[in-house]
Amino acid sequence: NAGVTQTPKFQVLKTGQSMTLQCAQDMNHEYMSWYRQDPGMGLRLIHYSVGAGITDQGEVPNGYNVSRSTTEDFPLRLLSAAPSQTSVYFCASRPHRATGELFFGEGSRLTVL
Amino acid sequence: AQSVTQLDSQVPVFEEAPVELRCNYSSSVSVYLFWYVQYPNQGLQLLLKYLSGSTLVESINGFEAEFNKSQTSFHLRKPSVHISDTAEYFCAVSVETSGSRLTFGEGTQLTVNP
C-alpha cells in the first residue's frame, strides 16, 4: 500500500550542485505534480504532467526540470541549486479526471547552503 | 487568476472548544473549493471539498465547511476539537473540477491544548 513515494527525505546541497528528487506512485495515476512548501506561502506548483511524455509548467518552474517517461515516475531535477530553493518539496498524484483529491507523498526537505 | 487568503496563520484553542478557520477566495469564474490537512512530518490529505450542490460539506471526523458565494468564503468549523486535530490546515481553490491547477492558501496552524 505504498501510494506516493518520495526520495530522499532529507538532502543538503551546496550552491551550484545538481540533484534529482525522485517520485514514484503505484496507483496508475495519470496526473502527477511537484509543489514546494515555504513558511507563510502555502504550496506552490512547480511542474505537472497529465501522462507519460507530457509535462507543463506551474507557478514557479524556474530552476527546475521534469520528465515523465513512465506513468509511475516523475523526477524533479535541480540543475544548479541556489539557496532560494531551500524548501520542502511534495509530489502529488491523482487520476486524470478525479475531482480535486490529490494524493501526496511525505515530502523531501532540501537545504541549499 | 484565482487566489486564496487564509485569515489566521495560527489558531490556538483548548480541547473541546469550538474552532473556525477562515478562508476567502477571489475568482472571476465559478470555483471548486477544498480543505487539506497536514499532520507533522506528513504530506497533505484531503479533508473535504465543495464542487456543487449543497453548500455545507462535512468530513468524516466532524469538520464542516460552508461555501458562501456572496462573501466568497469557505470557512472550516468544528464544534468540539481534540488534541489529535492539531495540524496545519490549507484551503485550496480550483476553477476546474479536475483540480489540476490547485491554488493553496498560506495555511493555518491549529494547536489544540489540553
pLDDT (0 to 100) of residue A85:
97
The predicted model gives B48-59 an average pLDDT of 89
Which of residues B103 and A62 earns the better pLDDT score? A62
Taking an 8 Å cut-off on Cβ atoms, the answer to whether A106 and B41 are in contact is: yes
Contacts of B6 in chain A (CB under 8 A): 42
What value does the mean pLDDT take over residues B5-17?
96
Q: Which residue has the higher pLDDT, B48 or A41?
A: B48
**Measured between alpha carbons, how far apart are the two ends of chain A, in Å?**
36
pLDDT number for residue A77: 97
Interface touch A43/B94, C-beta < 8 Å: no
Contacts of B34 in chain A (CB under 8 A): 100
Q: B98 and A44 in contact by Cβ < 8 A? A: no
- pLDDT tens digits for A15-74? 999 999 999 999 999 999 999 999 888 899 999 998 999 999 998 999 999 999 999 999
Task: Closest CB to A101: pick one of B42, B46, B106.
Answer: B46
Q: What is the pLDDT of residue B94?
A: 84
Residue in the block written with cell 517517461: A69
Identify the pLDDT of residue B98.
47
- pLDDT of A99 strictly over 70: no
State how far residue B109 is from chain A, nearest Cα, in angstroms. Answer: 10
More confident residue, B94 or A54: A54
By Cβ distance, the residue of B6, B9, B100 closest to A48 is: B100
* Contacting residues for B75 by C-beta, under 8 A, at least 6 apart: B20, B21, B22, B23, B65, B66, B68
Contact A42 B46 (CB under 8 A): no
Q: Is the pLDDT of residue A2 over 80?
A: no
Nearest one of B86, B99, B92 to B74, comparing CA atoms: B92
pLDDT at B1 over 50: yes
User: How far, CA to CA in Å, does A66 sit from each of A34, A73, B39?
Assistant: 9, 10, 28
pLDDT tens, position by position, B78-93: 999 999 999 999 999 8
Q: With an 8 Å Cβ cutoff, are A40 and B106 in contact? A: yes
Q: Does the pLDDT value for residue B97 go beyond 60?
A: no
Residue A98 confidence (pLDDT): 65
